[in-house]
Every structure is written in structure tokens, then in C-alpha cells.
Amino acid sequence: MATSGDRGKWAAASPRVCINEVLTDDELRAVLWKLQTEEERDGFGLVCKRWLQLQSSERRRLRARAGPAMLRRMAERFSGVVEMDLSQSTSRSFYPGLTDSDLSVVAARFWRLVSLDLKNCKGISDAGIIALGNGLPSLQVLDVSGCRKLTDTGLIVVSQSCSKLRGLHLSGCKLVTDGLLQALSRNCPELEDLGLSGCHNITDSGLSTLVNGCRRLRFLDLSKCSKVGDEGVSQIARSSSSSLKTLKLLDCLNVSDLSIYALANSCENLETIVLGGCRNVSEESVKALMAACSSSIKNLRVDWCLDVGDSSVRCVLSRCRNLAALDISCCDKVTDAAFHELGAAEFESGLKVFKASSCPRITVAGLGMLLEFCKFLEYVDVSSCPHITKAGCEQAG
């Protein structure tokens, strides 16, 4: 049995071992990747300079607000970054914001990027986007929503140089035309997500050309595309029938029942459909679409679809077992009858969000029937419904 004196002699004879002399870089990386949270990984980098350098080189995501000089320094430190967020807030944009010279540095130094977020970087132009296209051949996702100076000229270069592009978001890029859709069709067959909200120059012809080459579309946002109508939507339905999961047609005033029936006939896997403001869409076409997508639909917006009434709302609630969110705001034909006999459905509703603001014919009684059927509701909006008052709800329990 060792005495305390023996232990002291052993400790004195044993040399101290530094962990940095024992563990290799690969072993330290293995330790780093076992850390679960961002806070833990940041703490790893505080141990010493070597650990900080390893942590920096292994970082895959980076969000920054920096000019060219700082971007160069960041490129030296964070050499493994593949996802970068340089987006700006719409309400608190910093001055002068991201510029074309900044994008030139990104293109030259962060050549491994596969995802780049430039939302609301209003200072960039085609020159910066061309630099990105030429310098980032591995780019797969690009978000330039709100970059209002961009035109087809720069974005076509991206489509030509980044053939693996899977996601492109152009919301608010009002200068984009069908010419870009033609380029995407020719050069980007793997495109899955395309956001074109507010791109007023996009037409049915451009959409028809797009889906000739891009047949894997999963997400398509055409909200507020005023020149898009039944021809374009019908062509999308036929060409992307098996892949399309999300379609947004908010305030597409030229969309009518022809589009909705085309979707019902072809797109049985739709999970999110936004028809808000499509005033030429009838109740019967909505019922046909919900019957076709009853097992897949999760989110439905039909606010301001003025023909939507009791039978279509009842159809949605009683047949769509996976529905999580429903918006029928400003559908003034909907009454309490929409919620009658919902208990006869053969499933337990999982609806979590229900919006019915400005529906003047819904009362507290109708709301009570809905709540009885939808036991998992987390958010209900019945503002501006004159027959639903706080006092009435309290009286009804």
C-alpha cells in the first residue's frame, strides 16, 4: 500500500504532459465535432491559439458585417466556410452597406461557398454578381431578395457559371425578366427552389420555358407577379407534378379556376399553397384541389378569395388530416355552418394556426365548434369579426 510520501515521490518523478503535445490536429478536430452547441464550440476556441485556429478552420457557417479589408482577414481565419450570410435588415441597414468590391473579395477568397445570403444588400449591382458567378463555381444557393439594382445581365452569368444551382431567391428584383428564366432552363437543371415574388416582368411564356429545363422544382413563389396567369401555372403543374411541394400565388389576379384544376389534376404532393387575393378562384376549384391533396397539404391560404364559403372550409377541415395552418381571412361568405359536423371526421385534427380576421358571419358558437374539433390550436386570429367579442368568449367559456 502506497503511503502519502510514496505518492509525492511518484508525482515528483513523473514529468508534466501538455495536452497539445499529445493530441494531433485530427484528434482535436474529433473532440470539436463532438461538441453539441455553438457556445461549447466557442469555448473550445478560448483554450489557446492552436485550438482557436482549429476551431476557425472548421467553421462552416459565417455571418458577417464587414468591408473588404476585414473580409480578407476573415478569409484567412475561416478557410473552411461553405455558408455565408451577408444579408442586411430592411429596417436597420448599415451605411454604406455591402458593395461590389466586397463581393469581389468574397468571390476571390471564399471559393468554397455553396450558399450565400445577400438579402436587402441594396448597394450591389450586376458587376458584383458577375464577380460572384465567375469566382464561385460550387455555389448552390443564392438569395438576392431586395437587391433592386440587379438585372438579367448579372444573374445570367451566375446561371452559366454555377450549373449546380439549386436555390435562387429574387423577391423584389423588379428588373428581372423572362430572359433569366430562359438561362436557368438552359443551364441549371438541378434548380429546386425559385423565389420570384414581386418580379413584375415575369410572364407565362417565361415560366413555360423555365420548366422545360428545370423539372425538379419543389418551391416556387410567384406572389405579386401581375403578368402570370393560367397558362404559366398550368404548365408548371404539368411539368413539376411529382416534385412541387410549395406554390405561392399571392395576389396573382390573373389566376383562375383553370390553374387550380390543373394543380388538382397533376400535383398531389403539394404541402403549401398560397392563393390569397386570387379573387377569380371559386369554391368548387378549391374543394377539388383539397380533395386531390388531402393527405399532403399542411398550409393553406385562401384569404380574400371572395367565393370561398362554408362547403370549401368544411372540406378542408374534415378531409386534410395533416393541415397545420389555415387562413380564411376576409372570406365573408363563411358562416358557423362551416364548422358543423366536424366531429364526424375519422381523424384528430392537428391544426395549430387558424386565421379568420374580418369574417363578419362567424360567431362565438362557430368558434366553439372549431375549438372542440381542433384541440391542438396554438394561435387563433378572429380580429374584426363583429360577432366575436371578449365578453362573448368569456360567457361561452
Residue 319: its pLDDT value, please?
A: 93
Residue 97: its pLDDT value, please?
A: 77
Which comes out higher in pLDDT, residue 385 or 396? Answer: 385
- The whole-angstrom separation of Cα 390 and Cα 167 is 45
Of 65-69, 166-170, 308-312, 320-324, which gets the smallest average pLDDT? 65-69
Residue 28: its pLDDT value, please?
A: 64
Residue 334 confidence class, pLDDT cut points 50, 70, 90? very high
Residue 155: its pLDDT value, please?
A: 98
pLDDT tens-digit map of 283-305? 999 999 999 999 999 999 999 99
Residue 347: its pLDDT value, please?
A: 84
Highest mean pLDDT among 20-24, 101-105, 258-262: 258-262
Residue 23: its pLDDT value, please?
A: 65
Q: What is the mean pLDDT of the chain?
A: 89
Question: Is residue 58 predicted with pLDDT exceeding 80?
Answer: no
Cβ contact 251:222 at 8 Å: no
Percentage of the chain lying above the pLDDT 70 cut: 87
pLDDT tens-digit map of 81-91? 899 999 988 76
Residue 240: its pLDDT value, please?
A: 95
Residue 75: its pLDDT value, please?
A: 81
C-alpha atoms less than 13 angstroms from C-alpha of 256 in its C-beta half-sphere: 5
Residue 3 confidence class, pLDDT cut points 50, 70, 90? low
Residue type, 21: E
- The whole-angstrom separation of Cα 267 and Cα 356 is 27
Question: Is residue 37 predicted with pLDDT exceeding 80?
Answer: no
Residue 364 grid cell? 362565438
Question: Is residue 222 predicted with pLDDT exceeding 70?
Answer: yes
Question: Is residue 340 predicted with pLDDT exceeding 60?
Answer: yes
Question: Is residue 12 predicted with pLDDT exceeding 70?
Answer: no
- The whole-angstrom separation of Cα 47 and Cα 26 is 17
Residue 344: its pLDDT value, please?
A: 78
Residue 227 confidence class, pLDDT cut points 50, 70, 90? very high
Percentage of the chain lying above the pLDDT 90 cut: 72
Count H helices and E strands in the chain, helices first.
17, 13
pTM above 0.75, yes or no: yes
Residue 53: its pLDDT value, please?
A: 65
Residue 262 grid cell? 390543373
Residue 62: its pLDDT value, please?
A: 86
Other residues' Cβ atoms within 10 Å of the Cβ of residue 80: 12
Give φ, ψ of 297 to 5 degrees: -65, 135
Question: Is residue 397 predicted with pLDDT exceeding 80?
Answer: no
